[in-house]
Amino acid sequence: MTAALIVIDVQESFRVRPTWKAVGNQEIGTAVQRLVDAARAAGDLVVWILHAEPGSGTPFDPESGHVRIFAELKPADDEPILTKTSRNAFTTTNLQQVLTERGIRDLTLCGIQTEQCVETTARVGADFGYAITFVTDATTTFPIPHRDAPADRSIEEILADPRTLQVDDIVSRTEYALAGRFATVTSVQELTGS
C-alpha cells in the first residue's frame, strides 16, 4: 500500500448551517463514496479528517454534536479518523505519521471546502513531497462574499451581490492554482473509470 484517499471535512457541521443550500455540489457524499469504494477495492488506505473548533459555539464545536462524518458515509474499523483544528489536514493531526508508518507517498484528496481545507492540504502535502491527486468534483464549496460585505447578511443577500465570488469561479481558480504545481487535477470518472 503506497496510496491513500484523504476525505477532508465531509461532516454534518456544514449541512446544519444556513449556507448549505448554496453549496456547489449537493451530491458530495455520493462522489466521496465512489472514491472510497474505489480506494478500498484497490487496497489503498482511506483516512477521514474532521474539522473542529472547540469552544466556538458553532456547528464545528465538538459540543454541538455535528462534528461527525456524513451519516451515509461509513468508515471501516481500520480507517483512521483524525480531527484537525487548522485549515490543512497535517498541521494539527498526526496524518504525516500515519502516512509515513504505512509507506504512503501518493494522496488523493476530496472533501469540503474546495479552496480552503482541501486546497490547503494539497499545497502542504505537495511541500512534504507527496504526489497529490485533487478530485475536483468530489469537493464542494460555498459562494464567498466580497471582503467589504457586511458579515451578518443572509445567504440570499450574499448570492444577490454581484461582488460575490461564485462557486464555479472558486473551483476554476483552485484548479488553475493547483494543476501542474501542487497536484494532478482530475474527476471521479477519470479516476475510477465509472
- Report whether pLDDT(184) > 90: yes
Residue-level pLDDT at 151: 86
Per-residue pLDDT tens over the stretch 120-152: 999 999 999 999 999 999 999 999 999 999 988
- Of the pLDDT bands very low, low, confident and very high (cuts 50, 70, 90), residue 189 is very high
Cβ atoms of residues 69 and 29 within 8 Å: no
Rounded average pLDDT over 157-180: 95
Structural domains of the chain, count: 1
What are phi and psi for residue 181, nearest 5 degrees?
-115, -55
- Is residue 74 in some structural domain? yes
Residue 70 lies in a domain: yes
Q: How far is Cα 156 from Cα 25, in angstroms, rounded to an integer?
A: 18
Concatenating the DSSP letter of every residue in 154-190 gives -HHHHHH-TTSBPHHHHHHHHHHHHBTTTBEEE-HHH
- pLDDT value, residue 130: 98
Residue 194, domain member (yes or no): no
What's the chain's average pLDDT? 96
CA 17 to chain centre: 17
* pLDDT at site 84: 98
pLDDT at 193: 86
Task: Please give the grid coordinates belonging to residue 138.
Answer: 468530489
- 1 pLDDT higher than 70: no
Q: Is residue 178 part of a domain?
A: yes
**CATH number of the domain where residue 128 is located:** 3.40.50.850
Q: What is the mean pLDDT of residues 48-65?
A: 97
Does residue 34 sit within a domain? yes
Q: What is the pLDDT of residue 194?
A: 74
Q: Which domain range does residue 182 map to?
A: 3-189
Residue 66, pLDDT score: 98
> Mean pLDDT throughout 90-106?
97
